[in-house]
Amino acid sequence: MCFRKKWRIIEGSGECHSGFDKEDEMRTLLNIIWFLFGGVWLWLGYMFFGIIACIFIVTIPAGIASFRIASYVLWPFGKRVVDMPNAGAGSALMNIVWFFVAGLWLALGHVMTALAQSITIIGIPVAIANIKMIPITCFPFGKMVVTDPKAII
């Protein structure tokens, strides 16, 4: 008998087989490796900048952007970043301010984490994904993180 929703019974055999494919398994494995070897520390950095930004009323949008990126940085595989269609001049202005206040420092954190991750063969794909996150780290306004089952990162 199969108790999980993603499991199915093959007719006639009575066996349970996973409804997950190899891509789901690889994405989950990469997310676990990411979380253990850098994701949690980057998440803490984004949460720190988000809390600091929410102290002042004017910088609350930067805090919200930081929290949005923090959820992406914690578990990135299977998600992708897309442009928001309604982003305007305000997003461009906030991106410039964000870059000098927090983006540059968080990007340096990504580079340092990627260097540490690339020491091992297992960490190389995670380090590459870490480097690919730098553009949204530096310029988060006008971007949106969406779930995409086919996205590796």
Q: Is residue 17 part of a domain?
A: no
Residue 141, token pair as written in the block: 């306004």
Q: Is residue 84 part of a domain?
A: yes
Give a yes or no: residue 133 inside a domain. yes
Q: What is the per-residue pLDDT across 105-142, written as a single tens digit (0 to 9) for each? A: 989 989 999 999 899 888 888 899 899 899 999 999 98
Residue 28 domain flag: yes
Task: Enumerate residues 6+ apart whose C-beta is below 8 A from 47.
Answer: 66, 67, 70
| Residue 14 forms part of a structural domain | no
Domain that holds residue 141: 23-147
CA dist 98 → 37, 143, 148 (Å):
26, 13, 27
Specify if 10 maps to a domain. no
Annotate 69-88 with b (16+ C-beta within 10 A) or e (fewer). Answer: bbebbbbbbbbbbeeeeeee
1 within a domain of the structure (yes/no): no
* Inter-CA distances, 144 with 19, 24, 123, 133, Å: 29, 22, 26, 13
Evaluate whether residue 2 is within a structural domain: no
Query: Quick check: 81 pLDDT over 90?
Result: no
Of all helices (H) and strands (E), which one includes residue 142? Answer: none
β-pairing, 7-9 with 143-147?
unpaired
pTM for this entry:
0.74
pLDDT in tens, 34-69: 888 888 988 998 999 999 999 998 889 889 989 999
Instruction: Domain count for the chain, please give it.
Output: 1
Rounded Cα gap, residues 109 and 138, in angstroms:
12
Q: Is the pLDDT of residue 5 over 60?
A: no
